[in-house]
């Protein structure tokens, strides 16, 4: 029988979690580093990201932002009150935070407008081709997979990596000063809330996953959680790549047409 996990140490210290979770985090670190080191952030933090790529980023990532409460709702539907400590913990957390994520969608639109991308453009424009890798994966895993897998892939992996890159941008004075003074505070709100030093959601999600699975789940379950987390990181990298590649693709197509 799998031993129950109950957090006793610091929630933000990986040593507080079961060895299998520590190994999962370590084994996926290379994929997570690819996101943190993505060239998108270097260009953004130095305020040198071109307007076309800025638009592609705001439009291309928007489906994930807009659908995030939906991903969590899929997870909520998998819970049953009183079935297990993991279900109860997940249920309380998801109910409390789904509305928060709706507010985050509004903050994203504020950021886009501050960066020169209209709200209408974000809401109605066609995303860059191939930029839906992360959105499609999050929809699949949250709708069709287990409760532990959906929370690990979205609330732990996606929110955790987002905290990493958000902090890079939020710490940049050059980026902040590139936004108009009027509306700057509102424009930075999304970044502020997701910066790693402010956002505890990924750690709370990891606690939920470990509470669901316990201290020594079957090897196949561990491997599946690892795969789901890694796929989220890879999906995020692909989405960012497509947002950055889109301007070059358009130029190439124009040159061919000419």
pLDDT in tens, 14-54: 999 999 999 999 999 999 999 999 999 999 999 999 999 99
pTM of this prediction?
0.92
Is it the case that residue 207 has pLDDT exceeding 80? yes
Domains observed in the chain? 18-257 (1.20.910.10)
CB atoms within 10 A of CB 123: 12
Q: What are the backbone dihedrals phi and psi of residue 230, each rounded to the nearest 5 degrees, phi first?
A: -65, -40
The mean pLDDT of 231-236, rounded to a whole number, is 98
Closest-CA residue to 204 (of 151, 158, 252): 151
Q: List the alpha helices (DSSP H) in the chain.
A: 19-27, 29-36, 39-45, 51-77, 85-114, 119-124, 133-144, 147-151, 159-170, 173-178, 184-194, 201-213, 219-257
Q: Closest by alpha carbon to 65, among 186, 193, 183?
A: 193
Interval 107-122 mean pLDDT: 98
Range 230-245 burial, b when 16+ CB lie within 10 A, else e: bbbbbbbbbbbbbbbb
Average pLDDT over residues 185-209: 92
Say whether pLDDT at 8 is over 60.
yes
- Position 41 scores a pLDDT of 97
Name, of 84-88, 96-100, 149-153, 254-258, the range with top average pLDDT. 149-153
Give pLDDT tens digits for 240-251. 999 998 654 444
pLDDT of residue 250: 46
What's the whole-number average pLDDT of the chain?
Answer: 93
């Amino acid at each position: 029988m799998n031993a129950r996990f109950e957090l006793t140490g610091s929630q933000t210290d990986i040593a507080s979690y079961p060895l299998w979770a520590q190994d999962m985090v370590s084994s996926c670190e290379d994929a997570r580093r690819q996101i943190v080191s993505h060239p998108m952030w270097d260009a953004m933090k130095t305020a040198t990201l071109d307007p076309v790529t800025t638009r592609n980023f705001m439009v291309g990532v928007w489906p994930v932002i807009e659908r995030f409460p939906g991903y969590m709702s899929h997870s909520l539907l998998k819970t049953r009150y009183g079935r297990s400590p993991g279900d109860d913990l997940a249920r309380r957390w998801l109910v409390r935070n789904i509305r928060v994520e709706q507010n985050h969608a509004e903050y994203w639109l504020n950021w886009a407008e501050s960066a020169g991308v209209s709200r209408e453009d974000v809401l109605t424009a066609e995303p860059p081709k191939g930029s839906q890798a992360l959105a499609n994966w999050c929809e699949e895993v949250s709708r069709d997979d287990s409760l532990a897998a959906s929370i690990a892939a979205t609330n732990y992996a996606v929110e955790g990596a987002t905290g990493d890159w958000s902090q890079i941008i939020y710490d940049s004075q050059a980026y902040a000063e590139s936004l108009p003074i009027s509306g700057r505070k509102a424009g930075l709100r999304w970044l502020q809330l997701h910066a790693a030093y402010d956002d505890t959601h990924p750690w709370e999600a990891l606690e939920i996953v470990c509470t669901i699975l316990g201290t020594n789940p079957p090897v196949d379950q561990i491997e599946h959680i690892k795969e789901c987390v890694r796929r989220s990181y890879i999906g995020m990298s692909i989405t960012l790549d497509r947002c950055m590649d889109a301007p070059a693709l358009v130029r190439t197509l124009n040159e061919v047409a000419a």
